[in-house]
Each structure stands twice: as C-alpha cells, then as structure tokens.
Amino acid sequence: MALSDVVPVERNEAGIATVLGILKQRFGDRFQTGQSIRAQHAHTTTYIPTQAPDGVVFPESTAEVQEVVRACAAHRVPVIAFGVGSSLEGHVNAPGGGISLDTSRMNRIVAVNAEDLDCTVEPGVTREDLNHHLRDTGLFFPIDPGANATLGGMAATRASGTNAVRYGTMRENVLSLTAVMADGEAVTTGGRARKSSAGYDLARLLVGSEGTLGIITALTLKLQGIPQAISGGVCPFPTLEAASRAVIATIQMGIPVARIELVNALQMRAMKNYSRLDYPESPCLFVEFHGSDAGVAEQAETFGAIAEEEGGGPFLWTAVAEERNRLWKARHDAYWASLTLRPGAKGLSTDVCVPISRLAECVAETEADIAEMGLIAPIVGHAGDGNFHTLALMDADDPKEIALVEAFVGRLNRRAIAMGGTCTGEHGIGQGKAGFLREEMGHGVDVMRAIKQALDPLNILNPGKILPFEA
C-alpha cells in the first residue's frame, strides 16, 4: 500500500460530457450527477484519496448494462462497477472520472435449485439477502467476508472470509456467470454442471478480475446444506505463536473445522470493550464446527486437547445459537472495535496469506514489526487457511505516519511473498497493492496485461486498477 500506487488515468472530458447527456436522456432519474451521490460511489475506507465518478447509473438488467457499456465504449469513457462499496483497496475509485454503474437495482434471486444445491442471482443481491431467502430450504451460501457485501462484488474481488477453511472462497463457489464485456457483448461462462472441460475457464478468469475485464450481471452459485449441529467457542492462549501453532496442528490433523479465527491481545482488548465480551485479554482463537451432534462434540473436544498442549484454555464451547451468534457478531465488528483504540484515527486494513506451516512465524515477525515501529495495529485472521489481517491506526493528515504505515505494510507484503504466500489473501489488488503485484507474479503480470489489452483495448473497464494500462 502506497499513495504512489494510485495510478493517474487521463480524463476524456469531451467523451465524458457526451456520455453524461446520453445516459441522462436514457435513464432519467436512474442517472445521477449530484456531488453527494458521486462521493458515495468512490473510495472512502482508508486514506486513499477519494476519486469520484462524473455520474452514477442504476441499471436493472443485463441489457441496460450493455447499453451503458456501449455508450462508454463509443466515447472512450471509463465505467466502474459498484456493489455496496465495502472493498478496501480503492476498487471503486474513478481516477479518470467516468460512470459508476451501481448494481443495487439488479437484486433479484432468479432461481433456487434446491435439489442441485445451486442458485442463480443478480449481482446486487447481498450475502445476507440470499441466506434470508434460503432460510426455509435447508440450504445456505457459506462465504462470509464479514461485511454484507453484494455477491457480484464478492465474485469480482474473489472474496472469502471466516468459513473459507471448510467451504472455500468465491473461486470455488461460482459455477458460472454472465458478464458484459468491454464491447458491450454479454458472455455466459457455462451452465449449472459441477464440472466441465469445455475450453478456457472464463468464469475463473472473471472471478477476481475486479471489474477490469467485464461487469458481472448474473451468478450461478453453489449452496450447502445447513448443518444438523453447530458448536463453537473461544479459547485463550498465552502467546500469539502458541495460538498459531494450535491452528497448524488442528488443520494438519484433518479436523473439519468450519471457522478458526485468530485475534491478538490488542484486538481482544478492543472487542471486549466494544462488544462487552467476558474473555481474557490475551490472544484467542474463535472456533466453530459443523456436522452431526456427535461429530461437533468430538471435534470440539479434540481441539480442546490440542489447545491444552499449546498452553491454551480452557476452551469453553457451546451449541446454543444465541451465544454463538454473539461471539461471531463481535468478530465481525472487529474493525469498528479497533477504531476505539485510537479515537479519530483512520484504519488501514491490510491482509496477507501464507502457507499454513509458516503462519506462526509470519504472525510473530509481524507483531515484532508493530512493536519496533511503535504502531497501534491489532491482528485478526482467518487463520485456518493462513490468512491474517492487520489494521494500522494512523493520523491520515500526517505524512510521517502515512510513510511509517506504508513501510510496515511493505515489509509485511514482502515477508508473505518470501514465505511462498501472497500480498493479498482476500482484499484484492485495486489501487492499493498494485506496487507488489510484479514482486509476487513476475512475468505473470505481462500475461495479465496481454489479457487486459485483448479484452479491453480502450481501457474503459475500471482503469487504474490491478495494473497500469500501457497502449
């Protein structure tokens, strides 16, 4: 993360003016140019500068998205897809101006095929909306990034979250999708079959492309059966390294844990105060198991034994839904809880992911960096797949603090890459991590650039994200 990664994109003033007129005439009140609504459709989560679009359009169908994209292509105007704006790396900024395409009116659940465990939805459907709709079917959609993001945005950023260790990420849970490409044509990447060897895997190409290759207008998703029983709880540990070793042992023993979340002592302090939790102010693991009544009890007991070997415990677990929900709400509120550690400060949320065997080492070295640099930066992570986050709190108006945090994030990213990991486990590249992509991918960046230039030769789809455009 560095301000230098925010790549300038040249504005096409004449084209923008023309497209504003076209879209206003076509969409009427569903096209807005007011300052307030434009600002709401730009990045505001961290200190990345807000770069507002010139207009916001609210299409209601794939055909209307095609109209918008064709108008923008004809006049070489950027178009940036927008869900609810919960992404963290500047994905929805408009560095060259242009049109924000808000998918909130494309919020229909098209079909639920309970017997096949799949469903088809429009991109503006949120994760919570879908699971509310599914509540009477005995099924649920398991990917849970914490924020109530849209499913289109989750696919575009290849999101994951707390359940990824058992259910995978969006990459594994999108069967097929429909996307409008840069020329305005719509492409459907497949059907509802669970596997196919028919040509290139276009769905996987578009999942994680951050709106730079196409705009997702429909998704067919895998569903899961709601478990017969769920158990979970919180287990304290004397050190973060001990907690990390317990995670490694749990995964290596093949215990089918659904969620295993790591929080350090500072994060626990914030959560105790913010969510009124009655747990020790020490590193903790939040754990959840899914399965049969007997299975979840056995898994909880086995995990408790592992924790005890690492000096942790007692592991207090429960199968009572209200108690579990309270714990996971506290976990999902960790961002807001962390902000109370330094009132008035901005939080820069960043994440890395390493092979599970290197998790303890990576977390320990990161804590040492935080102490050495004098930062307030709690740690929380989806530890079951080697992914963890830090939230560095800083004065966004102080260039020295910004430089210090950028140096910290740079060290963290390079450490993860050196360990065979990645600079972004689930936040994506966007603007914020573009500077580390070549360090991680090498010549792969040139392949990405070739794909981008082939599919979007005018560079109108979310320009300035992932990699700078070169004509």
Q: What is the CATH number of the domain that holds 206?
A: 3.30.465.10
Q: What would the mean pLDDT of 95-102 be, rounded to a whole number?
A: 97
Note the pLDDT of residue 471: 40
Q: What would the mean pLDDT of 280-302 be, rounded to a whole number?
A: 91
pLDDT-derived band of residue 161, with 50, 70 and 90 as boundaries?
confident
Q: Of the given ranges (46-50, 130-134, 200-204, 316-320), which has the lowest mean pLDDT?
A: 46-50
Q: What would the mean pLDDT of 353-367 be, rounded to a whole number?
A: 92
- Do residues 289 and 305 share a domain? yes
Residue 245 lies in a domain: yes
- Do residues 152 and 126 share a domain? yes
Range of the domain at 256: 229-336
Q: Which CATH number is 427's domain given? A: 3.30.70.2740
SS (H, E, C) the chain: CCHHHCCCCCCCHHHHHHHHHHHHHHHHHHEECCHHHHHHCCCCCCCCCCCCCCEEECCCCHHHHHHHHHHHHHCCCCEEEECCCCCCCCCCCCCCCCEEEECCCCCCEEEEEHHHCEEEECCCCEHHHHHHHHCCCCEECCCCCCCCCEHHHHHHCCCCCCCHHHHCCHHHHEEEEEEECCCCCEEECCCCCCCCCCCCCHHHHHCCCCCCCCEEEEEEEECEECCCEEEEEEEECCCHHHHHHHHHHHHHCCCCEEEEEEECHHHHHHHHHHHCCCCCCCCEEEEEEEECHHHHHHHHHHHHHHHHHCCCCCCEEECCHHHHHHHHHHHHCHHHHHHCCCCCCEEEEEEEECCHHHHHHHHHHHHHHHHHHCCECCEEEEHHHCEEEEEEEECCCCHHHHHHHHHHHHHHHHHHHHCCCECCCCCCCCCCCHHHHHHHHCCHHHHHHHHHHHHCCCCCECCCCCCCCCC
Note the pLDDT of residue 87: 85
- Do residues 254 and 305 share a domain? yes
- Do residues 123 and 100 share a domain? no
Q: What would the mean pLDDT of 366-394 be, rounded to a whole number?
A: 93
Note the pLDDT of residue 188: 97
Residue 455 lies in a domain: no
- Do residues 268 and 345 share a domain? no
Q: Which of 8-12, 17-21, 340-344 has the highest mean pLDDT?
A: 17-21
Final residue of a domain: which of 56, 88, 104? 104
Q: Is the pLDDT of residue 470 over 60?
A: no
- Do residues 346 and 436 share a domain? yes
Q: Is the pLDDT of residue 327 over 90?
A: no
Q: Which CATH number is 35's domain given? A: 3.30.43.10
Q: Is the pLDDT of residue 469 over 60?
A: no
Residue 4 lies in a domain: no
pLDDT-derived band of residue 2, with 50, 70 and 90 as boundaries?
low
Q: Is the pLDDT of residue 330 over 90?
A: no
Distance from C-alpha of 162 to C-alpha of 169, rounded to nearest angstrom? 10
Note the pLDDT of residue 316: 82
Residue 469 lies in a domain: no
- Do residues 372 and 292 share a domain? no
Note the pLDDT of residue 389: 92
Residue 470 lies in a domain: no
Q: What would the mean pLDDT of 398-414 be, rounded to a whole number?
A: 94
- Do residues 273 and 194 share a domain? no
Note the pLDDT of residue 5: 65
Q: What would the mean pLDDT of 123-142 be, rounded to a whole number?
A: 95
Give which of 234, 382, 383, 239 is closest to 313, Cα–Cα. 234
pTM of the shown model? 0.92
Residue 186 lies in a domain: yes
Distance from C-alpha of 51 to C-alpha of 199, rounded to nearest angstrom? 38
- Do residues 196 and 293 share a domain? no
pLDDT-derived band of residue 169, with 50, 70 and 90 as boundaries?
very high
Q: What is the pLDDT of residues 47-91, one digit of tens each?
A: 778 899 999 999 999 999 999 999 999 999 999 999 998 888 889
Q: Is the pLDDT of residue 349 over 60?
A: yes
Residue 1 lies in a domain: no
- Do residues 68 and 79 share a domain? yes
Q: What would the mean pLDDT of 382-407 be, rounded to a whole number?
A: 91
Q: Is the pLDDT of residue 28 over 90?
A: yes
pLDDT-derived band of residue 4, with 50, 70 and 90 as boundaries?
low
- Do residues 216 and 174 share a domain? yes
Residue 261 lies in a domain: yes
Final residue of a domain: which of 49, 81, 104? 104
pLDDT-derived band of residue 3, with 50, 70 and 90 as boundaries?
low
Q: Which CATH number is 257's domain given? A: 3.30.70.2190
Q: Is the pLDDT of residue 216 over 50?
A: yes
Q: Is the pLDDT of residue 468 over 70?
A: no
- What is the number of domains present in the chain? 4
- Do residues 41 and 122 share a domain? no
Q: What would the mean pLDDT of 410-415 be, rounded to a whole number?
A: 96
Q: What would the mean pLDDT of 450-454 be, rounded to a whole number?
A: 96
Q: Is the pLDDT of residue 409 over 90?
A: yes
Q: Is the pLDDT of residue 374 over 90?
A: yes
Average pLDDT score over the chain: 92
Note the pLDDT of residue 256: 87
